[in-house]
Amino acid sequence: MPRHLSGLLLLLWPLLLLLLPPTPAAPGPLARPGLRRLGARGPGGSPGRRPAAAAPTGAPYSGARQRGGARGAGVCKSRPLDLVFIIDSSRSVRPLEFTKVKTFVSQIIDTLDIGAADTRVAVVNYASTVKIEFHLQTHSDKQSLKRAVARITPLSTGTMSGLAIQAAMDEAFTVEAGARGPTSNIPKVAIVVTDGRPQDQVNDVAARARASGIELYAVGVDRADMESLKMIASEPLDEHVFYVETYGVIEKLSSRFQETFCAADPCALGTHQCQHVCISDGEGKHHCECSQGYSLNADMKTCSAIDKCALNTHGCEHICVNDRTGSYHCECYEGYTLNEDKKTCSAQDQCAFGTHGCQHTCVNDRDGSHHCECYEGYTLNADNKTCSVRSKCALGSHGCQHLCVDDGATAYHCDCYAGYTLNEDKKTCSAIEEARRLISTEDACGCEATLAFQDRVNSYLQRLSAKLDDILGKLQADEYGQIHR
């Protein structure tokens, strides 16, 4: 019986080995200090991202809390990049594993803003030879990019990582191939994915690539040589070197790269401090703008009411006046009133308002204005309002019995009608023919006759003067009435 049991055990031993738990695997390369998960890079041309806490050293990457995953669309927008994937397809990468690499590439593409003005993607496939699968300018949308990635097949030979990086510099990162020039400030980024040790000298080539402005990320899988990864990657290494134990979990690294290339949107986060409007410019940048009727202050955040009148959209017929609130109101020129529409103006009668300031007469003009005039015998002064005497005779205070003659603006003399002569008082007049008739009919030599003649002449002159005074009084009354009508 014991002999039969031992024989049975020999037969069942292979099955028992399959049921036993596997022995613990040796710690992976990430157990060595100095390698951490993706984080924020300082100055030096990094695409820029938010800091992330370091993964514990000594354990391979096993999943990540995606910082940008909980955010809504628009909060985290990828920066424009010239991005080249350099993927190892040597014989050590099995077909199923190479499919996992292509899925990893496609998932990163999904997290990016793809386009001619956004991120451009190229793929360099390498083993012992190098093949540029497509250039940066070949595809400008996600779907065509992902279809092109899906069509890539492995080369299945050696691992010439240095040659692949050199080919990326010489053929992929050129302006002719679709890379943007140095003046564009578009970062050049390469992600190298490998599972083995390079079979060429990668150190010098990677150094030249970094010196040319290319930011290098190194992703190692399974048997990848950690020292070679460090030679490839940019500084700081703990932000540019990644390791996963199998291709089965490499897809999870895509969320890390999404976070790396993510530019937080201050407008969506509410950290912009814009007083009115926040405008996202992409790449984590933004600028402030103001509501209509306001202008941005020198601090580029706050707003002040602008000169709406200067915009020339006010519609005021005459005058636009800015108000403190950023609005405005219309006013009219002197002599006009604002209509009910609060924009157009109508002429007003300033003379009727009594505000004209004219000393003598106010005359309305058709355009809503007015001018001053003076009475006869006066002239308008330089102020266009007051008047000065132009003719003393016109004033009616000259005292001339018959005629007043101006001798300038302030002087005059009296004159008589035809048939009369001016008396010694230089104001009154005597009839010449009557005097002659009286002299011819009387004895001018006799004293009595002379006295009688003088009495009659004086009496006649008095009557005549009274009549003339009466006539002149009426004439002056009529003239005065015409002036003041």
Segment 71-118, tens digit of pLDDT: 334 456 778 999 999 999 999 999 999 999 999 999 999 989 999 999
Cα dist from 164 to 132, 448, 464, 481, whole Å: 9, 160, 139, 116
- How far is Cα 127 from Cα 377, in angstroms, rounded to an integer? 117
pLDDT value for 344: 93
pLDDT-based confidence at residue 232 (cuts at 50, 70, 90): very high
Nearest to 101 by CA among 120, 123, 69: 123
Three-state DSSP at 130 gives: strand
Which position has the higher pLDDT, 368 or 294? 294
Please check the confidence at residue 177 and state whether its pLDDT lies above 90. Answer: yes
CB atoms near residue 2 (< 10 Å): 6
236 pLDDT higher than 60: yes
pLDDT at residue 89, as a whole number: 95
Q: What are phi and psi of 441, to 5 degrees?
A: -95, -5
For the cut 50, the answer to whether the pLDDT of residue 40 exceeds it is: no
Place of tokens 């009919």: 441
**Mean pLDDT of the residues in the chain:** 79
Q: What is the reported pTM?
A: 0.47
Are 28 and 243 within 8 A, CB to CB?
yes
pLDDT over 50 (residue 34): no
- pLDDT higher than threshold 90 for residue 167: yes
The pLDDT score that the predictor gives to residue 79 is: 80
Q: What is the mean pLDDT of residues 236-250?
A: 92
Of the chain, the percentage scoring pLDDT greater than 90 comes to: 41
pLDDT value at residue 472: 76
What is the distance, to the nearest Å, from the Cα of residue 58 to the centroid of all Cα atoms in its chain? 53
Mean pLDDT within 366-389: 84
Residue 141, pLDDT score: 94
